Structure 1
């Protein structure tokens, strides 16, 4: 079972309106923490191409992902390039966005495209859970700003 305690602490603080911007607090509204934790654990345990069967868990996972997208902007320091790469490719898969193959001389985009190609078969739910886990790690590493 995956530990997302840093993420849960941030989520609960946003729900209580103790921290973060109004936009982040709004993204946190209505997310059932227990259902989200169960959904991340279920997605973590499932195959890359499987989906979470429970509708409540699927909805909590999607809402948790949307919150993660907002709260990652509240980190005290910007993540490193490798951390950003992981966030980027899982964000794209979670949103079901398809990357265009970059030109021959665009090395950064070629690297991102290569990493995306490795996981493009993941279900959006699997990538949402992995994104949440990455954000959890980044919150633990960098901490978050109050505003």
Structure 2
């Protein structure tokens, strides 16, 4: 089972409106922490292309992902390039977005495309869970700022 306790702590702080911007607080509203934890754990145990059979868990995971996308902007320090790459790749998959094959000389986009291509078969459910786990790791590493 994946430990996302730092993420849940941030979620609860945003829901109590004791921390973060109004935009992040709004994204946190209505997310049940216990259901989200169960959804991330279930998604972690399923295969790369699986989906959650429980609609409540699927909804909580999607809302948790949207909250994570806002919360990542509240880190005290910017993540490093490899961390950003992971966030970008799983964000794109979670949103069901595809990447265009980059030009031959665009090395950065070629690297991103190569990483995306390795995991583009993942389901959006799996990508959302991995994104949340990555944000949890970044919160643990960098901490969050209040506003």
TM-score for the superposition, normalised by structure 2? 1.00
Task: Work out whether 1:26 is the aligned partner of 2:10.
Answer: no
Give the Cα–Cα distance (whole angstroms) in 1 for the partners of residues 46 and 109 of structure 2.
30
Give the Cα–Cα distance (whole angstroms) in 2 for the partners of residues 38 and 138 of structure 1.
21
Give the Cα–Cα distance (whole angstroms) in 2 for the partners of residues 60 and 28 of structure 1.
11
Give the Cα–Cα distance (whole angstroms) in 2 for the partners of residues 3 and 118 of structure 1.
25
Query: What is the SS of the residue equivalent to 1:102?
Result: coil
Kindly provide the CA deviation profile for residues 77-127 of structure 1, in whole angstroms up to 9, marking residues without a partner as x: 000000000000000000000000000000000000000000100000100
Give the Cα–Cα distance (whole angstroms) in 2 for the partners of residues 111 and 95 of structure 1.
20
Give the Cα–Cα distance (whole angstroms) in 1 for the partners of residues 58 and 47 of structure 2.
15
Give the Cα–Cα distance (whole angstroms) in 1 for the partners of residues 64 and 122 of structure 2.
18
Task: Work out whether 1:79 is the aligned partner of 2:79.
Answer: yes
Q: Any unmatched runs of 5+ in structure 1?
A: none
Kindly provide the CA deviation profile for residues 30-86 of structure 1, in whole angstroms up to 9, marking residues without a partner as x: 000000000000000000001011000000000000000000000000000000000
Give the Cα–Cα distance (whole angstroms) in 2 for the partners of residues 142 and 107 of structure 1.
28
The runs of at least 4 consecutive aligned structure 1 residues that moved more than 2 Å come to: none
Partner of 2:138: 138
Task: Give the C-alpha shift of residue 134 in structure 1.
Answer: 0.1
Give the Cα–Cα distance (whole angstroms) in 2 for the partners of residues 139 and 14 of structure 1.
14
Partner of 2:13: 13
Q: Any unmatched runs of 5+ in structure 2?
A: none
Partner of 2:97: 97
Give the Cα–Cα distance (whole angstroms) in 2 for the partners of residues 26 and 119 of structure 1.
31
Give the Cα–Cα distance (whole angstroms) in 2 for the partners of residues 78 and 46 of structure 1.
31
What's the Cα RMSD here?
Answer: 0.2
